[in-house]
Structure 1
Amino acid sequence: CCVARLWAIAMIALIATQHMELEDPVPAYNISCGEVAPITWGEVLKRGKSFGYNYPFESILWYPNGTIRTNRLIHGLVVILLQVLPAYFIDFLMVLFRQKRFMVRVQKRISVGMEVLQYFTMRNWHFKSDRTRALTDGMSERDRQTFFLANVEYDVDEYLVNIVLGARQYCMKEPLSSLPTARKHLMWLFWL
């Protein structure tokens, strides 16, 4: 009985392996604007700051500002001076005022998140969209308007505004009515 099961499993594995070798791999259809309308990280950062200032989050802890640095040493020094030391200073003040410390913990989480993102942001990524273009070329005009895949005519600014507003509403649970208060908070952080 045990030998029969092993034989059956081996036959299924053999048939599956032969079948997989005969079949083409599953085709991938990349929807990317990189080939048609490339955008740099510098441009993303510039636009992101602009939208972040116009549609700020209520719960931000300091003024959003950033630059792209390719030198690891300079980046490390700036992080220590502008993020780590202020976090320890604020936590020190929290201890003096007998409040719960939180900034160093938040800063550590930010650092871990940034390390993960660095893998993706410090490399060039090229996604071929030949199959998607061929699919689009084979569509009728009506289907092209219904299933928008061209990525040529979309408004990047509108797309980024929707990302920021969506993050505010659905991730942070902050209603749009709180924007005036958030803008005042942002100005306070700017002067701080």
Structure 2
Amino acid sequence: MTTRRTVRAAGLVALAAAAALSLTAYQSGSSEASAAPVTKGSVSVTEAGAPVGSETLVDGSTAEITKLGDLHYRAEIVSDGAVVATMEADGRDAGLDANAMYVVLGVDGEIHSWTGGEHTGAGTHEIAGGWTAEVTKLGEQHYRADILDGEGAVVATMEADGKDAGLDANDSYIVLSTRGLISAHV
């Protein structure tokens, strides 16, 4: 019985060591430290990142911005000392409709917020920056917006599918929400 337990314990130690080496290899992509938990399978690890700074948003809350990698930033929106929302731009801009305050986090780590400029529902809407948005409902909490230039050509497509979408369109900032609301600001 003692031998069986010893072999089993040794097997568990070897498994734990292999998992630790695997996690170390996963984390070694950056030497910068942060406390952003990432779930890989059933294991939670810490994703490296470097604080970039903070910005005061239009509603008075603060966005704490962290660089996680090339074209990869996270913003934690803090109000009254508590994180009320987190958004991540990873290879594409991110957007958020936060109760009629709209926020875009770009893949360059810049963040912009505004209020107003809303259009609701499927249809064609003239939005700030001289763009036209053709919004289509694809399902419950699922909308797509084709962004058209002045000549009617599609220059970008946004999709809010269970999560709001954002876009920096040449310094015009656009948010499409899962409620079918689109807002833009220059």
* Fold equivalence (TM over 0.5): no
TM-score, structure 1 as length reference: 0.24
**Between Structure 1 and Structure 2, whose CA radius of gyration is higher?**
1
* Higher fraction of strand: 2
TM-score, structure 2 as length reference: 0.25
* Higher fraction of helix: 1
